[in-house]
Each structure stands twice: as C-alpha cells, then as structure tokens.
Structure 1
Amino acid sequence: MNIAFYSVTRQVSRFVKKLNLSENRVNLISDTLTLSEPFILIIPTYEKDVLQEVWDFMSDNASFCQGIIASGNRNFAEFYIYSAKDMSAAFHVPILYDFEFNGTTEDVAAVNAILESY
C-alpha cells in the first residue's frame, strides 16, 4: 500500500522511516503531489492552517484515500488527533489507527499489519 504523509516537527517522518517501506511507496505531501492509486494518509495534529497543504492535497486526491493514520499527544485530551477526525469527517475516510509522537514498536507493527491488509 502506498502512503502519503505530512510532517511538521518530524515526528511523523520518524514514524514513517520505522515502517521500512520501499521509497516508491512513500510520498511526502507537497503542493505538486498527485496520486492516482490507493493510499493511506499519515498526518500529525495541528490547526487547519498549519495543515493547509494536506487539506489541499486531499481535496484533489481523497477518492484514492483508503484511511487515515494519525499522530498526536494524549495530553491534549479531547483534542487528541482532532486534525484526523476533522479530515475523516470532511472526506468520509475512516481513521485506521492513531499513535503518540513518533510511535512505539507496537505502533509500527500495527501499522505495518494495516498496510499489508490493503
């Protein structure tokens, strides 16, 4: 399964590297990225304006998105992974998994299993 990801503080980047995916399956979201194959989105939690590039990307590519994997901080209580929740509702895409910071070994194993199931 292809992934598209966005990272602000490099926490998500560090998590994606732990997945040991081939480079041709990993796509860093940019203003020029367009995907024409199914993918899973991996994003951090930030205000919408910080993630505007992701919102723009999803506006053009959501039809190929199979689900969202979210990074966050549980210390933020009800605001934990709120960006993924907003995006999930806006684009009708399920949240498949969530993890804190750059993830644990267990998180990596769980996400690898999700990726293999698609």
Structure 2
Amino acid sequence: MTRQVSRFVKKLNLSDEHVAEISSTLSLSEPFILIIPTYEKDVLQEVWDFMSENAALCQGIIASGNRNFADLYIYTAKDISAEFHVPILYDFEFNGTTEDVDAVNNILESY
C-alpha cells in the first residue's frame, strides 16, 4: 500500500486479520475487496500479478487518486476493473475524508 492508502485503511473498522498487503506470495481463499492507489502498471506489477491469480474472489475495488489529474483520476482502478471484470465500488482522494471512511465502512459491512 502507498502511504495515502495505508493511512486510509487504518481509519477503517478493520481488524489486522482482515488487512493484507499484496505481495507475490499472497494467495487468498476468501472473497476480498481491493483498495488500490493510482500508479503506473509497472509500479504496481505485484497487484496485477496478484489479480491474475485471485480476481475471481475480488468483490470490487476501492480506489485512491488525485482529482487534479482529471481523466487519469483512479486510472489504475479503471484499468484493473476492465481487465478483470471487477466493479469499482468507491473512490476517494488522497487518504480520504471522514465521509469517505464512513462510506467505505458501510460498503465493507455490506459484504
């Protein structure tokens, strides 16, 4: 996770057992929601590799970005969503507002 995404995740109502950083060795057996920053594919290659193996379990994507980048806002999530046919459930800027945290907690509770 990036520092912005990490800060955001720490604000959520999640126990440590429900949070995992993606690595090349991570393999999941339960449904999950991906929370992802916006970076070039080569920077997030581990995420792409992970999704290649685990996309069937992904319930959706929550994306972090910067609206100053206009059309490029949350483009990583858009690309992953299109490639793996996974919906974008929510997006937020930087490390999120209180409203973003509340909205994402509601999304996570519904899954």
TM-score class, shorter = over 0.9
Q: Which amino acid aligns with 2:26?
A: L
In 1, distance between residues paired with 2:103 and 2:13?
A: 13
Note if 1:66 corresponds to 2:59.
yes
Between the two proteins, the alignment pairs up a number of residues equal to: 111
2:69 paired with 1:46 = no
Superposed displacement of residue 20, structure 1: 3.0
User: Partner letter of residue 31 of structure 1?
Assistant: S
- Aligned partner of 2:26 in structure 1 is 33
1:106 paired residue number: 99
Where does residue 3 of structure 1 map in the other structure? none
Tell me how far 1:31 sits from its aligned partner.
1.2
Q: Does 1:12 align with 2:5?
A: yes
User: TM-score, normalized by length of structure 2?
Assistant: 0.98
CA RMSD of aligned residues (A): 0.6
d(CA) in 2 for partners of 1:30 and 1:114? 24
SS in 2 for 1:67: strand
CA distance in 2, matches of 1:105, 1:34: 31
Identical positions, percent: 83
Residue 2 of structure 2 corresponds to residue 24 of structure 1: no
The Cα offsets for residues 9-37 of structure 1, whole Å up to 9 and x where unpaired, read as: x1000000000311111111111111010
Residue 89 of structure 1 corresponds to which residue in structure 2?
82
SS at match of 2:78: helix
More strand by share: 1
Give the letter for the 2:42 counterpart: D
Q: Unpaired segments of 5 or more residues in structure 2?
A: none
The whole-number CA distance in structure 2 between the counterparts of 1:117 and 1:21 is 13
- What is the CA–CA distance in structure 1 between the aligned matches of 2:80 and 2:102, rounded to whole Å? 24
Q: Which runs of 5+ in 1 are unaligned?
A: 1-6
Structure 1 runs of 4+ with >6 Å offset: none
